[in-house]
């Protein structure tokens, strides 16, 4: 949605918040997407009497996708900074905010409103957290791998090599344990 402009992006986010609220039988207060975000967090907290967990995947995509268009990247960065600053304002109602992204380039400027971030990407205990290992892929997706082999007329090893290539197989711990970041 951010490709169409900030206004469409804001409307899309408001609709997402409204859908979440509806699924929990909550009414959000009127206002822009920031007010609705705050309202959603506080109402979820009130309803469940527990801190809310917020998961944000690819926080930096609206910036990275426009890396060759600095004006658009800056507009998106400013939008994201305002959005993420809302999380700091709601910290009393939050249990955890977990954010993923591919770059550190936006971290300082996007999260400058939040001074309590922790980058867990290089913590040894977190190596397996953000993807699946080859072992997990083979174990949990046996049927899907067999279908891919048949469709592509190739061996299991060839399919796994292609998947590693397609989905940026990487190793955070410097060992042979490769992680595959993908949506299956």
pLDDT in tens, 68-87: 999 988 888 888 888 888 88
Domain boundaries, the chain: 2-119, 126-180
* pLDDT of 175 above 60: no
Three-state DSSP class for residue 53: strand
pLDDT in tens, 86-138: 888 899 999 998 887 777 644 546 766 666 777 776 676 776 666 677 788 88
Q: Which residues contact 159 (CB under 8 A, 6 or more apart)?
A: 145, 148, 149, 152
- Residue pair 84/113 in contact (Cβ under 8 Å)? The answer is yes
- pTM above threshold 0.75: no
Predicted confidence at residue 182, as pLDDT, reads 45
């Amino acid at each position: 949605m951010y490709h169409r402009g900030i206004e469409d992006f804001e409307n899309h986010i408001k609709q997402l918040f409204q859908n979440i609220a509806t699924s929990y039988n909550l009414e959000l207060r009127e206002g822009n997407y920031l007010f609705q975000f705050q309202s959603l967090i506080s109402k979820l907290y009130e309803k469940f009497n527990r801190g809310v967990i917020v998961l944000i995947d690819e926080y930096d995509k609206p910036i990275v996708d426009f890396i060759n268009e600095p004006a658009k990247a800056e507009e998106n960065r400013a939008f994201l900074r305002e959005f993420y600053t809302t999380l700091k304002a709601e910290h009393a109602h939050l249990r955890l905010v977990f954010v993923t992204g591919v770059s550190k380039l936006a971290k300082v400027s996007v999260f400058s409103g939040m001074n309590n971030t922790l980058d867990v990407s290089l913590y040894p205990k977190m190596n397996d957290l953000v993807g699946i290992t080859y072992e997990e892929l083979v174990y949990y997706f046996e049927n899907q791998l067999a279908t891919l082999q048949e469709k592509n007329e190739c061996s299991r090893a060839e399919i796994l090599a292609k998947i590693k290539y397609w989905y940026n197989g990487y190793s955070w711990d410097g060992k042979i344990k490769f992680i595959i970041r993908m949506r299956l």
